[in-house]
């Protein structure tokens, strides 16, 4: 079994934020995960640069081998040709580190570095996005590319390293627009000459920026649309819930008569079902409050009469000396005490019906056995006053229902008691039980004067006092049929009054309950 405290803690942890915020978070978090592709592109850029490193080394080595042994004119021609085809700047240095040839001096430059002063907003935004991603991923800083003032081999660390080791060297720089500059140095021949190639790999930055900007803009658009849809969804959920919550608070504060709980008839979803359920619950609560108020007024009225009679008898008794009159007054007082006791007992029973049924466990009850036992018990105790009680179970089917045995027995006892009291002493009370579809119908019919159609509903009102002629006043509380109907309705059934189905004189009380599965 779950620990209520632990469950409450979990609920408080998830319910700490407003429903709108949680809906937004659920819809936007996956998009933020998708936005992680912005950072994946940084690793993609690193892979491209590593591939260009390898290519730059190979190009420098191949070019150096082609230049070795070639004449000066041939070398210059090769520098110009390769520079134009590969969009590079190639420079050669002699053994003393002095510049001997420059492809940009021999011909028009094959590329130009970008001047950021001429960039538009898109390029500025792309650079800002690059810097933001580099900051988030803690990218290692790259040295800025600056042309040395002295065109000597020792001004280039990679050239100095290549001259020292006799091996090709590659180095990465960063131009001020964020594009990579890859330089490669390689020895030319065996006389100490060296070659330096410079390439501004703008294509790498352009491809990464294009993908990153497209993904970023797409993510912003999708996030905006998702946020708008989330807010719309939240509004369709949160707004009616807020209306219902405010209505519930006002009902709690005791101003339920002023509250019109929205039923949202146009909505057929769960919110609409909830709204109608809350509205119905509020209506039921109002009816219950009205019933309690009416019941309290009825109780006060019914108890006030015997109390007044009892008080008059007790007040008069000390002043009466006639033994016979004193005996009458004592009899009146005793009768009033019994009447008050009966009223209190029936009132307590009526007030406990719903509570007892809600707490009780439903059992299978055979109504034929229930009525047969009650009839036999009443006959043994002489409670029928000479009336015959006849039980007829139609169809040979066991009339079984699900219910609280004690409560159903109380209904049956009240029905039999009512029928006996209205039947003449030589009359008969017919009890007929039958099954109609998924319902068990029990009819208890007396041989009395019957009930006028316009008064058939009134007999179920509390403290109804329409009793048979000749019956002593105060022997019945007037709650029996009211309690019977309350018990029937608590079992999802009905209790109504009607004429006898055979057309004979008398009334018929019909109890209908759902048949047990």
The pLDDT tens digits of the residues spanning 354-374 come to: 666 667 788 899 998 999 998
pLDDT at 6 over 70: no
Fold of the domain built from segment(s) 361-517: Heat Shock Protein 90 (3.30.565)
Q: Can 34-213 and 361-517 be said to share one CATH topology?
A: no
Please tell us whether the domain made up of 34-213 is placed in CATH 3.40.50.10490: no
Cα angle for residues 159, 190, 55 (degrees, 5° grid):
50
Q: Does 163 score more than 80 pLDDT?
A: yes
**Chain-centroid distance, C-alpha 216:** 33
Predicted confidence at residue 104, as pLDDT, reads 93
Q: Which two tokens stand for residue 276?
A: 């109608």
Least confident of 6-10, 98-102, 349-353, 385-389: 6-10
Could you tell me the two tokens for 455?
């008064």
Predicted pLDDT at 76 = 92
Q: Can you give the three-state secondary structure of 231-282, one letter per residue?
A: HHHHHHHHHHHHHHHHHHHHHHCCCHHHCCCCCCCCCCCHHHHHHHHHHHHH
Q: What stretches of 361-492 show up as alpha helix (H) in DSSP?
A: 367-381, 405-422, 480-490
For residues 97 and 114, give the distance between their C-alpha atoms in angstroms, rounded to a whole number: 29
Q: Is the pLDDT of residue 11 over 50?
A: no
CA distance 143 to 146: 9
Strand 89-93 relative to strand 193-200: parallel, antiparallel, unpaired? antiparallel
Rounded to an integer, what distance in angstroms lies between the CA atom of residue 396 and that of residue 374? 20
pLDDT at residue 380, rounded to an integer: 84
Q: Where are the domains of the chain?
A: 34-213, 261-359, 361-517
Q: What is the pLDDT of residues 29-61, one digit of tens each?
A: 666 555 555 556 667 778 888 898 899 999 999
pLDDT at 105 over 60: yes
Please give the pLDDT value at position 465: 61
388-393 and 428-436 strand pairing: parallel
- Count the neighbouring beta carbons within 10 Å of the beta carbon of residue 34: 14
For residue 184, report the phi and psi dihedrals to the nearest 5 degrees: -135, 135
Residues 278 and 241: their CA atoms lie apart, in Å, by 11
* 17: pLDDT strictly greater than 70: no
Please, is 140 exposed, middle or buried when counting C-beta atoms within 10 Å of its C-beta (0-12, 13-18, 19+)? Answer: exposed
Contact 175, 181 (CB under 8 A): yes
Residue 238: predicted pLDDT: 74
Query: For position 294, what pLDDT does the model report?
Result: 64
173 sits in the region (left: phi over 0; alpha: psi -120 to 50; else beta) called: beta
Instruction: Decide if pLDDT at 19 tops 80.
Output: no
pLDDT attached to residue 227: 77
Highest-scoring range by mean pLDDT, 88-92, 126-130, 494-498: 88-92
Report the run of H or E that residue 436 belongs to, with start and end.
strand 428-436
C-alpha distance from residue 416 to each of 224, 247, 370 (Å): 73, 46, 12
Per-position b or e across 92-118, b if 16+ CB within 10 A of its CB: bbeeebebebbbbeeeeebbebbeeee
For the stretch 436-449, pLDDT in tens is 889 999 999 988 88
Provide CATH code, domain 261-359.
1.10.287.130
Q: Is the dihedral of CA 328, 330, 335, 340 positive or negative?
A: positive
Predicted confidence at residue 501, as pLDDT, reads: 84
- Half-sphere exposure (Cβ direction) of 260: Cα atoms closer than 13 Å: 1
Residue found under tokens 């049924």: 357
Cα 493 to Cα 362, 445, 460, distances in angstroms:
14, 19, 15
Q: pLDDT band at 339, cuts 50/70/90?
A: confident
Residues 6+ apart with CB under 8 A from 376: none
Residue 189 three-state SS: coil
């Amino acid at each position: 079994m779950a620990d209520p405290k632990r469950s409450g803690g979990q609920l408080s942890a998830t319910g700490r934020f407003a429903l709108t915020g949680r809906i937004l978070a659920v819809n936007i978090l996956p998009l933020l995960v998708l936005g992680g592709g912005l950072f994946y592109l940084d690793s993609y850029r690193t892979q491209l640069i590593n591939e260009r490193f390898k290519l730059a080394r190979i190009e420098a080595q191949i070019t150096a081998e082609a230049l070795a042994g070639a004449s000066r004119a041939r070398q210059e021609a090769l520098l110009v040709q390769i520079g134009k085809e590969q969009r590079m700047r190639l420079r050669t240095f002699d053994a003393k580190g002095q510049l001997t040839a420059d492809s940009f001096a021999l011909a028009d430059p094959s590329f130009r570095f970008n001047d950021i002063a001429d960039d538009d907003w898109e390029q500025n935004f792309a650079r800002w996005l690059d810097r933001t991603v580099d900051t988030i991923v803690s990218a290692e800083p790259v040295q800025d590319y600056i042309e040395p003032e002295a065109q000597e081999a020792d001004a280039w660390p990679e050239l100095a390293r290549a001259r020292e080791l006799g091996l090709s060297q590659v180095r990465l720089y960063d131009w001020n627009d964020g594009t990579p500059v890859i330089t490669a140095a390689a020895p030319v021949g065996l006389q100490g000459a060296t070659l330096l190639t410079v390439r501004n790999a703008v294509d790498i930055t352009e491809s990464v920026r294009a993908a990153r900007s497209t993904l970023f803009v797409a993510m912003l658009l999708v996030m905006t649309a998702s946020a708008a849809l989330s807010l719309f969804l939240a509004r369709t959920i949160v707004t009616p819930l807020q209306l219902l919550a405010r209505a519930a608070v006002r009902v709690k504060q005791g101003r339920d008569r002023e509250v019109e709980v929205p039923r949202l008839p146009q909505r057929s979803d769960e919110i609409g079902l909830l709204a109608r359920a809350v509205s119905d619950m509020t209506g039921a609560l109002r009816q219950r409050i009205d019933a309690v108020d009416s019941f309290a007024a009825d109780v006060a009225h019914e108890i006030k009469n015997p109390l007044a009679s009892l008080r008059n008898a007790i007040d008069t008794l000390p002043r009466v000396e006639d033994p016979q009159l004193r005996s009458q007054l004592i009899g009146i007082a005793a009768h009033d005490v019994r009447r008050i006791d009966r009223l209190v007992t029936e009132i307590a029973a009526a007030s406990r019906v719903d509570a007892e049924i809600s707490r009780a466990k439903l059992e299978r009850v055979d109504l034929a056995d229930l009525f047969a036992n009650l009839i036999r018990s009443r006959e043994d105790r002489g409670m029928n006053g000479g009336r015959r009680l006849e039980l007829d179970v139609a169809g040979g089917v066991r009339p079984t229902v699900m219910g609280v045995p004690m409560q159903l027995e109380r209904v049956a006892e009240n029905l039999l008691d009512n029928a006996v009291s209205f039947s003449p002493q030589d009359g008969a009370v017919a009890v007929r039980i039958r099954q109609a579809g998924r319902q068990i119908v029990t009819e208890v019919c007396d041989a009395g004067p019957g009930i006028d159609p316009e008064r058939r509903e009134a007999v179920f009102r509390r403290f109804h006092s329409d009793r048979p002629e000749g019956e002593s006043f105060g022997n019945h509380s007037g709650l029996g049929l009211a309690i019977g109907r309350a018990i029937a309705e608590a079992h999802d059934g009905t209790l109504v009054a009607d004429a006898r189905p055979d057309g004979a004189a008398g009334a018929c009380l019909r109890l209908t309950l759902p048949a047990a599965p």
